[in-house]
Chain A
């Protein structure tokens, strides 16, 4: 039971919840039951069917409505006299400025993506409001407390980096099913149904691939009067047959690899069958609003079944046909969406046909959907547990009980007899560019690199600023905003295309640039160091940013690679990365990957390998240079270690 003191703190508190999803529903319920009276909740999402297995405040009849609003109404039913203020909005909207955050005693995050988490972290630092951060995936979860100047901020430790794949693995030498999925989704699907002007690594020429002259025709162009059946067959034969033959002709590639098998439609399905494949007319007639589905028209029912090559080929032709006939208007603007049944069917089928070609195990639509959509595993129980832990920390924060703040991990298998493991929070990272004044160092060729490179590849992509401003001393080099006059806009646009040393206020070795995001109220300095040469392979941006503990994986993966993510916003870096942005709760849990602990220690934090790649639940908390120390009560010799043996690292001091 709560003490009087606690109750007073709870009743007087004004709290902001960001996210009304899996953790959010549980959290709002637990806050209300615990006696909180003034709760504000932001969520931009609307309710979907796949939320209902855990977001218990929502019903089927609510599908399509605002999560924040429906959650409020549901909680008011059992706690009618409290105040809950919902915002159906993006927390990154300019409406939620620092002043907005300042009105709260504590901010509680139940978010699903890194971008929003970083944003809220910065606003909480700017507003000097404590932040409690959380995440779950499957049976794993964690809660952390971030207090400006006392504990590390959310960005003090390098964040998980999206999994990336080299371009050639995707285009030529897939060895895993995920490679086939990325190919089907980001290359084939994008080529057929997406923006025609976007760069695409797919070979679209039917003449000699190496001399792909401008005159050679693009096989993806549908010829005048060409029937859908013929067109589909031509695409199929090109990508699964011809392109494989072309690849095979490069003997060097296959010296140490299994040679793929070209697949032509005539060998899998007689032409007649393709023509009669499914029944588009039936689909056309039924004007029921049910989603268009190739599975439905072919009579395939279970998404758990693994289809054979023939079935996959039929789905391929059928879904292509349905896109061309039923969704003609969308073609050219489509991007892959895991909730788009037809898109999932097409990608599953294409990935499986490619997998057959390369001797890779085929997968069911259910599995393929999870991989293609980066779907995060989620169960109600973990979210409930994490929400309970958030409220326990929130009550401590409200009482300013700094000595008892804990970060807590929810584990799948007991470690040191614990399923819930509390750890003392760490001190702020003194070299964190977000919460300390430490300047960053940027090595760059000031005669070659343009201001645009710094704005796009460093300030936006690496520092996560969305409305950046760049200054050299008192000279403004670049800014964005609605209230700028025309001349300035033109001036800034011109600056973007100038090399650094050619700017009105030249940026050279020794210059200190100040970059700011007015919205996030974040400002940091970048020391510029001129460097002539960069390794094209290892440093493709022609720039190296340091001074902030960047995860080693990231630098490595800056190589040309392919992205299984929703948006390759930074097309120039040519990275295909797996980005987790989903409707559920991404945990950043102590999962051992890469260079982390061995033996017993590793086992403790092991996550079961499953169909979903990466999960991005990579080691936010695998603090490669630090120990995680268990809280001692009287068990002084139990120390939970997450120590990779790195001796050069500075051991973090305990908070106390």
Chain B
């Protein structure tokens, strides 16, 4: 396709995966530039996957200092480094990731994700955000959409033993619509996790909390919010079980096996989108370890009512 041959070194290293997706896809991967923001366990898994796959470059954003929580599901940071330096999470992860595959350029960008302009996002083919508010996600998605170039946008989050991926490849519905779709028009068997995550997001926004900043004390307020939201959408409250909300409110830390699963699915989706092989998920993926299902929900056409 691009006329450039894979080097001998690349063919040897990527042998087993070229057998899965072909040499053309591998060449496309090696030219792709990926931005990630918010490096918790799930995103760390994702980064490992795309670095191993051999993308062109990976840029990390996460200025937060290392905390015990940041370490809990992140294998990219060794606990001793914690005390060593005033390095940010992104810097520490960068050091580890570089080591995974010398053929991938891994770097760190500092600053607040929301403050970057379109010209910044224009440098990337894929943008993945995590651990940020719903408002920030929408804002970034919007910026990516405004670019002439097609930039694939992903939002991912894991709480307790649940995980959610949102995908906007720009040929589908815009997230604002996808998330603001009237619930009545959604498929009858929509994942409960979809509704529950929207309630939690609204709660955190309304209370001015950071993502994941909740506890069991918040449950009564969350249940109250569920009632309001369900009424507004004419949805039966039982579609969002108490127990699920309780788990999401209390289990704010990630469960490492779920990070591996959701980070794996996300890696696979991004690889599909870049390489043009396979049909990418549109436009939500949900996983709950309690029931063990990894489900795809397509709400890009809210009126098909299936």
Contact = CB atoms under 8 A, between A and B. Distances in A.
Interface of A: 1-2, 26, 29-30, 32-34, 49-50, 52-54, 56, 59-60, 75, 77-80, 138-139, 301-304, 366, 370, 375-385, 387-389, 391-392, 395, 406, 408, 410, 412-414, 417-422, 584, 610-612, 631, 633, 635
B38 interface: no
A263 to B, nearest CB: 29
Contact of A1 (B48, B78, B99, B252): B252
A420 B292 contact: yes
Interface of chain A, main secondary structure? mixed
Contacts of A49: 12-13
Contact of B49 (A33, A139, A384): A384
Contact of B16 (A30, A59, A377, A408): A377
A612 B293 contact: no
A419 B265 contact: yes
Nearest to A389: B261
B252 A384 contact: no
A75 B96 CA distance: 13
A612 B258 CA distance: 32
Contacts of B45: 384
Contacts of A54: 16-17, 52
B19 interface: yes
B287 A420 contact: yes
B265 A381 contact: yes
Interface in B21-56: 21, 23, 41, 45, 48-49, 52-54
Nearest to A634: B189
Contacts of B41: 33
B211 to A, nearest CB: 15
Nearest to A406: B292
Interface in B278-305: 278-279, 281, 285, 287, 289, 291-297
Contact of B20 (A379, A387, A631): A379
Contacts of B108: none
Contacts of A56: 48, 52, 100
A391 B259 CA distance: 12
A418 B293 contact: yes
B133 interface: no
B13 A139 contact: no
B6 to A, nearest CB: 7
A366 B16 contact: no
A119 B255 CA distance: 32
Contact of A631 (B16, B76, B291): B291
A554 to B, nearest CB: 27
A310 to B, nearest CB: 22
B19 A419 contact: no
Task: Name, among B16, B161, B265, B293, the residue most crowded by chain A CB atoms within 10 Å (CB to CB).
Answer: B16
Nearest to A384: B264
B52 A387 contact: no
A646 to B, nearest CB: 28
B256 to A, nearest CB: 4
B126 interface: no
Nearest to B191: A417
A50 to B, nearest CB: 5
Interface in B61-98: 72-80
A52 B258 CA distance: 24
Given A33-B41, A78-B75, A379 B16 contact: yes
Given A388-B264, A413-B279, 16 more contacts: A1-B252, A1-B255, A30-B260, A33-B259, A50-B12, A56-B52, A75-B75, A78-B77, A379-B268, A382-B264, A383-B264, A384-B260, A389-B257, A391-B256, A419-B294, A631-B293
Contacts of A631: 291-293
A172 to B, nearest CB: 30
Contacts of A33: 41, 72-75, 256, 259
B257 A381 contact: no
A530 B285 CA distance: 59
Contacts of A59: 99
14 contacts: A33-B75, A49-B12, A53-B16, A53-B54, A60-B102, A302-B5, A366-B15, A377-B17, A380-B53, A385-B265, A388-B259, A391-B257, A392-B257, A421-B294
A392 B11 contact: no
Interface in B95-115: 99-102
Given A33-B41, A303-B11, A584-B16, A417 B292 contact: no
A1 B253 contact: yes
Contacts of B80: 80
Contacts, number: 189
B19 A611 contact: yes
A79 B256 CA distance: 13
Contacts of B102: 60
A378 to B, nearest CB: 4
Contacts of A421: 293-294
B250 interface: yes
Contacts of B128: none
Contacts of B271: 379, 381
Interface string B151-175: 0000000001100000000000000
Contacts of A301: 5, 8
Task: Name, among B80, B259, B260, B263, the residue most crowded by chain A CB atoms within 10 Å (CB to CB).
Answer: B260
A138 B257 contact: no
B118 interface: no
A30 B257 contact: yes
Q: Which 4 pairs between the two chains have the least Cβ-Cβ distance? A: A420-B294, A1-B251, A388-B260, A422-B292
Contacts of A302: 5
A391 B255 CA distance: 11
B18 interface: yes
A631 to B, nearest CB: 7
A388 B189 contact: no
A1 to B, nearest CB: 3
A607 to B, nearest CB: 11
A627 to B, nearest CB: 18
Contacts of B257: 30, 34, 387-389, 391-392, 395
Contacts of A422: 291-293
Given A366-B11, A418-B296, A422-B292, A384 B267 contact: yes
A78 B267 contact: no
Task: Name, among B23, B75, B261, the residue most crowded by chain A CB atoms within 10 Å (CB to CB).
Answer: B261
B256 A34 contact: yes
Task: Name, among A26, A52, A382, A419, the residue most crowded by chain B CB atoms within 10 Å (CB to CB).
Answer: A419
A412 B272 CA distance: 11
Contact of A388 (B79, B160, B258): B258
B14 interface: yes
B160 A1 contact: yes
Contacts of A414: 281, 296
Contacts of B254: 1
A385 B78 CA distance: 23
B49 A381 contact: yes
B259 A370 contact: no
Nearest to A413: B279
B233 to A, nearest CB: 19
Nearest to A138: B20
B293 A366 contact: no
B265 to A, nearest CB: 7
A302 B9 CA distance: 11
A418 B295 contact: yes
A380 B29 CA distance: 15
B50 to A, nearest CB: 9
A515 to B, nearest CB: 39
Contact of B256 (A30, A376, A612): A30
Contacts of B23: 304
A377 B14 contact: no
Given A384-B264, A417-B295, A420-B293, A77 B78 contact: yes
Task: Name, among B8, B15, B49, B73, the residue most crowded by chain A CB atoms within 10 Å (CB to CB).
Answer: B15
B267 A380 contact: yes
Contacts of B260: 26, 29-30, 384-385, 387-388, 391
Contacts of A612: 19
